[in-house]
Structure 1
Amino acid sequence: MSTTFSDLGISSAINKSLIDLNITEPTEIQEKTIPVLLSQKDDFVGLAKTGTGKTAAFGLPLLQLIDTTKNTIQAVVLVPTRELGQQIVANLESYATNLPEMSIASICGGTPIKPQIERLKEATHVVVATPGRLIDLIKRGEINITTADYLVLDEADEMVTSLKDGLDKIVAVLPKTRRTLLFSATLPGTIKQLIQNYMSKHVTQVSADMNTVGNQGIDHHFVVVEPIEKLEVLMHFLASKEGERGIIFCKTKAAVNKLAKNLAINRFSSGALHGSLSQGIRDRIMEQFREGHINTLVATDLAARGIDVKEVSYVVNYHLPDTFETYVHRSGRTARAGAKGLSLSVIQEEELDHIPDFEEALGLQFNELKKPDALSIEENNTVLWAKKMFKTKPNRDVSPALKDKVKTVFHHLTKDELIEKLLASYIASQQKPVADTDIKKPKKKKKRD
């Protein structure tokens, strides 16, 4: 018989909310974490891959440990991005539907600060914050976290940069008796240093299925291409995944914009996501992606932090990441909550030597995909051309007289005949003309004396 949340010590009120959410069986990280957080007082480090239920692992016991008779902030949850913060608040609120007195506030950057200041004037038990916004509110004297019993650092390995200068300021305000809970998908040196500097000597550490760092539900592939082939090979792959949701990662904002534009030109349902976009635009694109209005997200690593969207069936590394940890986080956007997924890296010949390094460091096996041949690419491009034509809106500026003249030319053709001619015209237009220099001219015979 499988373990239940009640077996782990979760209260009946919270358990009722979980049943209503159809969450009945704890994941490995939840099974290992919840009893420890409920029964012990030590600081805690939880290692688990992205998408394995870390929010519930700390969120459920945290809600149970809060004393709602006190109108003070008792828990501070730090997150790397506003998007992740919003998701955690939504999750915590859904777990607390049968705890009517529980009050949870989001105080993340990227939104106006005044409504957050007004919200903090109300009774608040849990705040979910990005480091920068929390420090801003502390400086303004608009938040009191001196009564907090718990500090949670979620996705700590993705938050190291933003924590670098700010954690000292936050910790200085928190009581020394607080309990610190850290959750991460990887354990690089920077996180080990953070644990040493900011957590007590008595730290309980658990890890869930970390024999391989990457999610076991993901198939890892790579395809070797020439630079000039990269876009066409990608579009061939995307065409094979029509109707499925996926995320394509690029190294820079410029690369994201360029690729998103090329995909839009070829009528792929896609959107761009990077740090230079306003928060409003980013929110709108993420909402369209979650709702299925766009199927493909082109993003930088920074902008994609905290994205938790179900049914992302594939991830594409359009540029290979610089670090192994980044690869883990990228690929972890697919195969969430026990689902299957695919991670494809589109690489060039000179990057091939990096694949064994990723395999060794992450304990993964990468399989090479055969690059589509020229005929397959050509056929895919033809289908894309047809889809582009199908989605082209009529030009209302064309005069009726001109339309009639064109209709007269085609009126005797059947639909199939018209398609045949359009297809032949397109294929002919794609054929490269033979340059004069390519034509070998016959050598002139020398005149004999």
Structure 2
Amino acid sequence: MDTNKPQKKKKWFLPLVVSLLLSTLLIFITVFTSSSSSSAIFYRPRVKKHLPHFVESKLKISETSKNPVPRLAYLISGSVGDGGSLKRTLKALYHPRNQYAVHLDLEASAEERLDLARFVKEEPLFAKLGNVRAMVRANLVTYRGPTMVTNTLHAAAILLKEGGEWDWFINLSASDYPLVTQDDLLHVLSSIPRNLNFIEHTSDIGWKEDQRAKPVIIDPGLYSRQKSDVFWISQKRSVPTAYKLFTGSAWMMLSRPFIEYILWGWDNLPRTVLMYYANFLSSPEGYFHTVICNAEEFQNTTVNHDLHFISWDNPPKQHPHFLVMDDFQRMVDSNAPFARKFGRNESVLDKIDSELLGCNADGYVPGGWFNTQANGSATVPDYSLKNITTLRPGVGAQRLKHLVTSLISAEDFHAKQCT
């Protein structure tokens, strides 16, 4: 028995050694030929987790311009029969530093809208500088519904995309008219912060809660090519609780940062409020006001004034009364840069042209930016542009300066912001 033990050991020892050698070889092959992903299973490094990047985090309030002379972006809108008045208002407001969008709504005939487009394209000064554009895709606009809001947003988007750098957006109608020159206006605005928003507003909506906020209206202008009045749904709704309602004037001067915010809407407030005001009577008198006063970034940028002289009946009706010659001195004494509402070719406009603006024969307002040179071979004067940052303010600048200073230096200035 003892002599056989060494032989038995040899029988199982040799296979064991061979097996160990093969196993070792396989381990080496596995280690050195395996993929990096397989190795990572055993040797996974600790990687710092990064938060995902959202586009909203990149959308911040833009910085205001450092240029000493500001630039303005105007929307001038009208309806059927307003083509002539719109052209006159545009010329009286013209300055080469500014940008302009003009719009006749779909109630105006195709011929009238085409005439305005040709005027913009062929007027020598506009063609030379390219800062006036007609909104070719016209909208149907009803004041009592949300279509005026959508048209304003449409124009602001065009001016933001195509108008280069500007500082404030001003919405006017063909029945508005300036009471100061653009040199006057730009001179006064050059001395104030460019994040300010001139928007008349209040949270005391009073009777409007029952007669405008709670009723649900439908504006046919959102889906029809024919203008008609809004109509009501019998069921009423409660006022919002997620945000506070504000009301005020439909005419305003808004800063570029706020226009960017209301178009981009990176926290969704502008879109949420817009959907609510789609069924709100006279939404132009509440949409922008509600957004700006519920947005933390802009609550403290409001100046509670619409920069207009407007003569209302007492008690106020849906529209103000038309301004006539008897209103001239009250317009001047208001120190406001704009007035409304004027009838077509109203005689008081000629008085404003001669005594307040100094319009030339072509309807443009002289300033530091051009000289008129007679040219016997041309049907219109040849405008020789100077340095367009040269301003020549007059007495209108003194009046406007008094108004703006009294507004932003008043003791209750901050108390009037979004209250």
Q: TM-score, normalised by structure 2?
A: 0.23
Q: Which has the higher contact order (CA 8 A, sep 6+)?
A: 2
Q: TM-score, normalised by structure 1?
A: 0.22
Select the structure that is richer in helix. 1
Q: Which protein is bigger by CA-based radius of gyration?
A: 2
